[in-house]
C-alpha cells in the first residue's frame, strides 16, 4: 500500500469514527421518541391487566348483569301522572 493510500485510509477511518462518536453523543443527548416508548409500555401494561381481568375472572358477566339491572330499573319506574 502506498503512503498516500495509507493516509487516505487513515483519514477515512478517522471520519467514520468521528461520525460514530457524534451520533452516539447525539443519541445520549436527545430524548426524542422516549415518551412514545414510555406511553407504549404503559399501554401494553394496561392491555395485559385488562386481558387478565377478562379471561381469568367473571368481570364481564358481572358488568353485564349490573348494566342490565340499572337499565331495567330506569325503564321500570313509572312516570308520575300529572
In the prediction, which pLDDT does 53 show? 87
- Average the pLDDT over 55-69 and give the result: 88
Round to whole Å and give the CA distance between 32 and 27. Answer: 9
What confidence tier does 32 reach under pLDDT thresholds 50, 70, 90? Answer: low
pLDDT above 90: residue 46: yes
Mean pLDDT taken over the chain: 81
- Average the pLDDT over 33-55 and give the result: 88
- Average the pLDDT over 18-45 and give the result: 80
Maximal C-alpha separation, the chain: 108
What confidence tier does 65 reach under pLDDT thresholds 50, 70, 90? Answer: very high
Which of 38, 42, 39, 64 has the alpha carbon at shortest distance from 50? Answer: 42
Round to whole Å and give the CA distance between 1 and 9. Answer: 10
Amino acid at each position: 500500500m502506498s503512503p498516500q493510500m495509507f493516509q487516505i485510509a487513515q483519514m477515512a477511518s478517522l471520519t467514520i469514527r468521528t461520525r460514530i462518536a457524534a451520533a452516539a453523543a447525539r443519541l445520549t443527548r436527545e430524548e426524542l421518541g422516549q415518551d412514545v416508548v414510555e406511553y407504549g409500555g404503559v399501554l401494553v401494561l394496561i392491555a395485559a391487566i385488562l386481558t387478565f381481568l377478562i379471561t381469568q375472572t367473571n368481570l364481564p358477566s358481572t358488568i353485564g348483569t349490573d348494566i342490565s339491572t340499572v337499565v331495567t330499573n330506569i325503564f321500570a319506574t313509572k312516570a308520575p301522572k300529572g
